[in-house]
Amino acid sequence: MFDISIASVLSVMRYPLIDLGKGPVTLASIFAGLLVIVLSLHLARLLKGSVGSLNRGRYALTPSSIYTLERISHYFVLIAGVLIGVSVMGVDFGKL
């Protein structure tokens, strides 16, 4: 029915959509950037859980301190992941 080869799929994935300064934005770079963002979201959730376990260890932290550390680490990883993901997509942050 359809004659789809790997070479034709790769040529579509590498086809430049727009140019934002650092290089062309392609479907492959968009998928790679989205993958980085999704992985950072999962890493942020794992980090949030591991910070929550600090109270069970040898550290005597108050619940408000634990919550603050969870939130700060969660947002830091998310922001870093989004910035790295958007950079992988091809957006140049050097001009901001």
**Beta-sheet pairing, 24-25 with 18-19:** antiparallel
- The token pair that represents 39 in the structure block: 């992985």
pLDDT at 91 over 90: no
Q: Could you read off the pLDDT of 35-80 as tens digits, one per residue?
A: 999 999 999 989 887 877 766 666 677 888 888 888 999 999 999 9
Locate the domains of the chain by residue range. 19-95
What pLDDT shows up at residue 78?
93
- This prediction has a pTM of 0.76
> What is the number of alpha carbons within 13 Å of residue 49 lying toward its C-beta?
5
Q: Render pLDDT for 6-35 as a digit per residue (tens, 0 to 9).
A: 777 777 777 777 877 677 888 888 899 999
Say which residues have a Cβ less than 8 Å from residue 39's Cβ, sequence separation at least 6: 81
Question: Residue 41: its pLDDT value, please?
Answer: 93
